[in-house]
Chain A
């Protein structure tokens, strides 16, 4: 799969979805174009999806937040007659490389999390109106909605048939949401996850698999009524008009990806990408209304969109780049002024959306299975939300004292109140709380420094960086670290980093990305699923997978 995967799209390009907006209610129709697969070799029958389908869904969720803040309820429906969604396309999975499958699942998980959290983050409640078969990834799509309505037509069902049919797991949060979110009794969940045909009608409701079961004749009316009720009950303030998210200015060439504020430089021989974030070129707007007027050009939104795209690009298109190096250059005071404006206007819809976007983006960084390192160089602007990157990475290095021939302002880190809870990790606590799990007093010590530019020695004493290095050691130490890192097994690195990054409490999200994903990725590597006689390969041939019956 050498084709470049582009995460940028817009409604004019959608092949698989359409959205109808009606005041506070939006209806999202999944209507997958069978012949619109991202790659050759499979047809997206029965509303099954591949990464291309999901990229569009992700775009919809994002635009819903920024372009349609008037929407309070989103109804997701099928555009096809007899099927809601058959889940991820099996032939696509059967033909995809392991790495592609893993990246595909990670991205779909992130998208599900995004619309699931939309209600809590910005008052947009997603509901699923299920008519027709809703299986596997299809039911997982519904599970991520906060209200599931199922028609009682004696045919429509919800199902997680992965285990009996394909010898893999419902890996897009399915298993986890059944027990953690829907709180289905574990023995019933065991039954449900072991049967191909799924569960219909009243029993689906009894078993908590759906919220409502509605007679087929009344289904559309009840769905419409429910949407109106939810919209009326929504605490989300009324907003007249959103902002538009125009295409990013982006150039991709052999050396990397070039945006206005984000520069990605790829060194393939060193298996390294350096991501440089630029600070704002201008003063922060004087008011939140000016932010709205700037729209997608507002510094922190533009930066987030560019960085988000860069991370996704690197994940899918640069798989041998094992090390992501974060740098920043700019005036920290200007960065902070921009963030402060948002923090001071949290109850404004756009400020809220931009902050919530950074929360998602920082989680996306946490979740990126590459070695992450930050370089706090002279002239850098790691403050507030950008300082958060320092606590997301596996290691950070900071310049100490002046460097010969370097007249940039001395390297500092500035903490803001936002570093103490505004951007929780998937474990639902802040990165600093996670970092200092064993030394809560260190969090307090850091808090006492809010607003003060912290130079290397103090940053070291506060535990905010891994190493501080002076002029003499900087270049060599970093070179050696990076060379060493690049020489380790990528698998061992991924495993080690994923284990070290997420200390602290478990949440549904950490269980999805930790337990469910890790097991799924193991199964994806086992012949019972993916071998030549495994279930994925044999799917559709009428012959069941030939399993090695040893329990491991």
Chain B
């Protein structure tokens, strides 16, 4: 073991009394060097040495959670921060609803809880791994900085989960924390736990789509864990949500700026037909139908992350009170769901049907429906941009049956409207519904690094406002010499 000799309270902003917590300190001392190695091996060296204008959370109060300054990423202060404890908080759902929230892991649910935390924790470093080469093609210093901000915060979210494992799950927890660094996105040896997190993020439009759609799944999971009866998990997730909001902002504005630039270039060149893709692409911007295809892909991949529509695992977690529903505290019911039903999709006699099932078993489905509503908001705002430009095109979330690998729709062929189609129809439609390799090549051709402050690659518009209200030509990244 490397002797870190670290003043942890200084190095790791925290509100959990880290320096006096022998259990966690001992565990962290062993884990921390591995984490730093992981980070150093991951991000290309040039960027490790660059000064980046990053937001650091040093405390959970409004003044402390967003401190901006230049920092080299390996020196970033990954903190362990929990939302303040709410006096008298009770378990919000399930058979223990109304009892005082657990401050320690109840032995009965230890394994279930550990599994949830490990799955959540596994996604955090995975996305950093998926995005590791993107900085090389960053369309601006502003975007490069946002990428790194997302990356360090995913890193911090890993810390948050590792803290819970170290603090509350003893020896097993330490082993799981080590395994979070052992697994790696796309690895054959030890891949990340969820399929969607083993795909490389090949370009910036994918990154924006990922942060909009896939990080939103993360948000929904965090929202339901924020409702946990295990108070430290709830408090951790509540604070993570404040940061997750920024990732979604990066995604929504990133896609929005791409759309805005496309519309602008179309207008400047007198193109009204959004399907005149050859001409549009020749102008170096991404046509709206391709954006729809990317949307179709990322939305449906993200839907798969919610698991089976009818799930006993989800029912068990809800009933145990360790995972609630989205905004559980605002829902007006008994929070036990002993007799309630919920309507889910099913596939019977060759067609899709709506079916009432016990609400307890449909927890995943309900969260997925909440997700869809949440995801629809940004799509509406993107359409406003198109509408304002006077182009006749509307982006749409595809039907949830389309392109699914998990759940009742898996292994069947649906078009984006949710219509069951033949293999031939699917093959014929596929190139219109999902990005092709040629589409990928085209997007890749636009990916060039722009490092001049205030300058942007031709396929994307500048943001309306700078980060931390900085002016347009602000040097968000002081690049080290390559």
Contacts and interface: CB of A to CB of B under 8 A. Distances in A.
Interface in A450-488: 467, 469, 471-473, 476-477, 479-487
B108 A487 contact: yes
A473 B171 contact: yes
Main secondary structure of the interface of B (DSSP, over half): helix
B108 A483 contact: yes
A469 B23 CA distance: 12
Contacts of B62: none
Interface in B1-34: 22-23, 26
A482 B108 CA distance: 9
A486 B23 contact: no
Nearest to A471: B22
Nearest to A474: B170
Contact of B22 (A467, A472, A482, A485): A472
A487 B107 contact: yes
Given A469-B171, A473-B170, A480 B107 contact: yes
Given A472-B23, A472-B26, A473-B23, A484 B107 contact: yes
Nearest to A485: B107
Contact of A486 (B104, B107, B110, B168): B107
B23 A482 contact: no
Interface string B101-138: 00011111011000000000000000000000000000
A499 B170 CA distance: 29
Contacts of B23: 472-473, 476
B170 A476 contact: yes
A86 B321 CA distance: 55
Nearest to A483: B107
**Size category, B interface:** 10 to 19
A477 B175 CA distance: 14
Contact of A480 (B22, B26, B110): B110
A483 B106 contact: yes
B171 A480 contact: no
Contacts of A473: 23, 170-171
A482 to B, nearest CB: 6
A402 to B, nearest CB: 13
B1 to A, nearest CB: 15
A414 to B, nearest CB: 26
Nearest to B111: A484
A484 B22 contact: no
Choose among B26, B107, B110 the residue with the greatest number of A CB atoms under 10 Å from its CB: B107
Contacts of A481: 107
Contacts of B171: 467, 469, 473, 477
B175 to A, nearest CB: 12
Interface residues of A, number: 16
Contacts of A476: 23, 104, 168, 170
A98 B108 CA distance: 27
Contacts of B26: 472
B15 to A, nearest CB: 21
A479 B171 CA distance: 13
Contacts of B110: 480, 483-484
Nearest to A482: B107
Contacts of B107: 479-487
Nearest to B23: A472
Given A469-B171, A473-B170, A477-B170, A484 B104 contact: no
Nearest to B27: A472
A480 B172 CA distance: 12
Interface string A31-59: 00000000000000000000000000000
B413 to A, nearest CB: 44
Contacts of B111: 484
Contacts of A471: 22
Interface string A431-461: 0000000000000000000000000000000
B412 to A, nearest CB: 39
Nearest to A472: B23
Nearest to B106: A483
A503 B105 CA distance: 34
B170 A484 contact: no
A107 to B, nearest CB: 32
A481 B110 CA distance: 9
Nearest to B168: A476
Contacts of A482: 107
Contacts of A487: 107-108
A471 B22 CA distance: 9
A480 B114 CA distance: 12
Interface in A475-531: 476-477, 479-487
Contacts of A480: 105, 107, 110, 170
Nearest to B108: A487
A485 B108 CA distance: 8
A396 to B, nearest CB: 15
Nearest to A481: B107
B453 to A, nearest CB: 49
Interface string A406-428: 00000000000000000000000
Interface string B156-188: 000000000000101100000000000000000
A181 to B, nearest CB: 45
Contacts of A467: 171
Contacts of B170: 469, 473, 476-477, 480
A484 B172 CA distance: 15
Contacts of B22: 471-472
A449 B105 CA distance: 39
A116 B22 CA distance: 56
A79 to B, nearest CB: 53
A486 B170 CA distance: 19
Contacts of A484: 107-108, 110-111
B187 to A, nearest CB: 30
18 contacts: A469-B170, A469-B171, A471-B22, A472-B22, A472-B26, A476-B23, A476-B104, A479-B104, A479-B107, A480-B107, A481-B107, A483-B106, A483-B107, A483-B108, A483-B110, A484-B108, A484-B111, A487-B107
Interface of A: 467, 469, 471-473, 476-477, 479-487
Given A467-B171, A473-B23, A477-B171, 16 more contacts: A469-B171, A472-B23, A472-B26, A476-B104, A476-B168, A477-B170, A479-B104, A479-B107, A480-B110, A481-B107, A482-B107, A483-B107, A483-B108, A484-B108, A486-B108, A487-B108
Interface of B: 22-23, 26, 104-108, 110-111, 168, 170-171
Q: Which 4 A-B pairs have the closest CB atoms?
A: A483-B107, A487-B108, A484-B107, A480-B107
